[in-house]
Amino acid sequence: MSDAVPRHIPTDESANADGHTPEPGWYGLEFNDRNVQLEDPYSQFRELRESQPVNLTPDGAWRLSRYADVHKLLRNVPCGMRRHNGLLPGQEVEDPGAGVFMLLQDPPNHTRLRKLVSKAFTPRAIEGWRPRVEAITHTLLDRVARAGTMDLVADLALPVPATLICEMLGVPAEDQGKFTQWTTDATHGLAVVRGGGDDETRQRVETAAVSLLGYFNELIAERRGKDSDDLLSTLITAEEEGEKLSEVELLSQSIGLLIAGFETTIGLIGNGLTTLIRNRDEIQKLRSHPELIESAVEECLRYSGPILATVRVLHADAEFGGYVIPDDSEVVALVAAANRDPEAFDDPERFDVRRYEKDKGASPHFSFGGGTHFCLGAHLARLETQIAIGSIVSRFDNFELLDDETEWGRSLFRVPARIPVTFSESPA
Ligand code: HEM
């Protein structure tokens, strides 16, 4: 097959006429160009879901926005991350160094890497970090309590995951500032890969990646042979049926974990707090009923999560909404669109901190993806966010957002750059 015409774009008129291929188009949402309004991507997603729920884009990728279709893609059809030729979508030639992180792998590699790394992410291992997350959060809140004003990102949403991941990895306190800056810059590399970013950003991303690699190499060398129980040591010694992580795999999983887990958590805490402050009845409900925190964080994930989409490649033909999408096609699951599908959620545009109470049977959201690649850090992200949001809501009151619109960061994800607020301390 010629490379010039992707095989899933119809080359003759009859493909459209028989009803099995939709008219290709962006339909107002040129997602790959970051043309999404981060403040309110949901109206664009709603229009697409209503007009073109199974959308073939002009560049040959398909996009799904209905809950049932996203569920089917992530859970019930043969699919993975790579095309039959072994390349990732958008990749022209094999690059042996790139794509070793588990999220970019198919079985058997994915299965092996995930099994090895998941030893450090069991619910029990993560629960063990609860006292530290509480202590970090309360120290941060103590620092701003008297001031009555803070930046929810710089003073809480960023330092909670940054301090915790550094402590989990065993990065010494004096290096945590530079380590966090490299992680932030390296994460912006995802946006650069997708065609965004100027020369200065590219330069910063490259410097950060090289610095992180060098730093991790030193940390790993120092840990080898020592009997430590930090995350890196667990990855160094993780062994499954005689299999260990190779040096390149170890580095890729370590840096991949940072990139997957850092800005996403900042985004969840930041967007969650903004949404709560904008919905005064809901923040009041949470303050009066702190036991609602688990449900409230799930609703923050559904309603205003940091990741809008995830991608798969079909490994067999599959039918969605009456169309057959061919084997080897790239399919984008618009998880943020599915999370507000009225076919799956009552009153989906309403933010409701009680929605995920145990007896209510609300549909699960897709903000952590689904199927074999379901977010490995979900327990950790939930723990950090429940403690950060739960603590600030119980200690402080009368929040006012100083900016009407959120200032968004340079991340590929939906992550606020700053959220200045005023507040008062709640009476003890
Ligand atoms: C609010 C925070 C987070 C969100 C919204 C989030 C979301 C996601 C999503 C959407 C995926 C892709 C799933 C799929 O395509 O099916 C993913 C994968 C992943 N995430 Fe997270 N994530 C978060 C935090 C974290 C944290 C804290 C870590 C670890 C430190 C982490 C580690 C991973 C890993 C390792 C994968 C790849 C899993 C695999 O390929 O098997 N994530 N995450």
Question: Whose CA is closest to 160, among 363, 413, 414, 391?
Answer: 391
Helices within 86-146 (DSSP H only):
109-118, 123-127, 130-145
Strand-pair category, 330-333 with 62-64: parallel
Residue 378 exposed, middle or buried by CB count within 10 Å (0-12, 13-18, 19+): middle
DSSP 303-325: HH-S---EEEEESS-EEETTEEE
> Is 410 buried (19+), middle (13-18) or exposed (0-12) by CB count in 10 A?
middle
d(CA 187, CA 45): 25
Ligand 1 and 269: CB distance under 6 A:
no
> Which residue shows structure tokens 């040591």?
233
Contact 194, 171 (CB under 8 A): no
Determine if ligand 1 sits within 6 Å of the CB of residue 212.
Answer: no
pLDDT for res 32: 54
C-alpha to C-alpha distance for 119 and 129, rounded to whole angstroms:
15
Of all protein residues, the one whose alpha carbon is nearest to atom 20 of ligand 1 is 375
- Alpha-carbon distance of 412 to 189, in angstroms, equals 8
Give φ, ψ of 204 to 5 degrees.
-65, -40
Cα-based distances in Å from 286 to 106, 273, 293, 325: 41, 12, 7, 44
Query: How many degrees, rounded to 5, is the angle at CA 201 between CA 199 and CA 207?
Result: 105
DSSP state, residue 345: S
Query: How many angstroms is it from 260 CA to the middle of ligand 1?
Result: 6
The CATH number of residue 233's host domain is 1.10.630.10
Q: Measuring from atom 12 of ligand 1, which residue has the nearest CA?
A: 369
- Tell me, what amino acid is at 210? V
C-beta 114 within 6 A of ligand 1: yes
State how far the Cα of 136 lies from the Cα of 164, in Å rounded to an integer: 8
117 within domain boundaries: yes
Which pLDDT does position 31 carry in this prediction?
62
Q: Name the residue at shortest CA distance from atom 24 of ligand 1.
A: 261
| Secondary structure class of 330 (helix, strand, coil) | strand
Positive or negative CA dihedral for 69, 70, 76, 82? positive
Q: Let me know if residue 384 belongs to a domain.
A: yes
- DSSP labels, 28-69: T--GGGT-S-SS-HHHHHHHHHHH-SEEE-TTS-EEE-SHHH
Give the relative orientation of helices 247-278 and 176-187 as an angle to the nearest 10 degrees: 90
- Return the number of other C-beta atoms located less than 10 Å from residue 68's C-beta: 15
Say how far apart CA 385 and CA 379 lie, in whole Å.
10
CB 385 within 8 A of CB 409: no
Which pLDDT belongs to residue 283?
98
Query: How far is it, in rounded angstroms, from Cα 373 to Cα 259?
Result: 16
Ligand 1 pocket, 24 CB below 6 A? no
Range of the domain at 350: 14-91+100-425
Task: Provide the β-strand partners of residue 418.
Answer: 407
Structural domain count of the chain:
1
pLDDT at 12: 39
Distance separating alpha carbons of residues 308 and 311, to the nearest angstrom: 11
Residue 406 corresponds to which amino acid? T
Report the nearest-CA residue for atom 13 of ligand 1.
369
**282 within some domain:** yes
CA 333/CA 4 separation, integer angstroms? 25
| Three-point CA angle 227, 230, 233, nearest 5° | 55
The predicted pLDDT at position 192 comes to 57
**What does the pLDDT profile of the chain (428 residues) look like in tens digits?**
233 333 333 333 334 444 578 899 998 887 654 556 888 999 999 999 999 999 999 999 999 999 999 999 999 999 999 999 999 998 887 776 667 899 999 999 999 999 999 988 999 999 999 999 999 999 999 999 999 999 999 999 999 999 999 999 989 889 999 999 999 888 887 665 555 567 777 888 889 989 999 999 999 999 888 878 888 888 888 876 677 889 899 999 999 999 899 999 999 999 999 999 999 999 999 999 999 999 999 999 999 999 999 999 999 999 999 999 999 999 999 999 999 999 999 999 999 999 999 999 999 999 999 999 999 999 999 999 999 999 999 999 999 999 998 999 888 789 999 999 999 998 87
Residue 21's pLDDT is 81
Q: For ligand 1, say whether the CB of 129 is within 6 Å of any of its atoms.
A: no
CB of 261 closer than 6 angstroms to any ligand 1 atom: yes
Residue 413 CA, closest ligand 1 atom number: 5
Would residue 388 count as lying in a domain? yes
8 Å CB contact between 159 and 136: yes
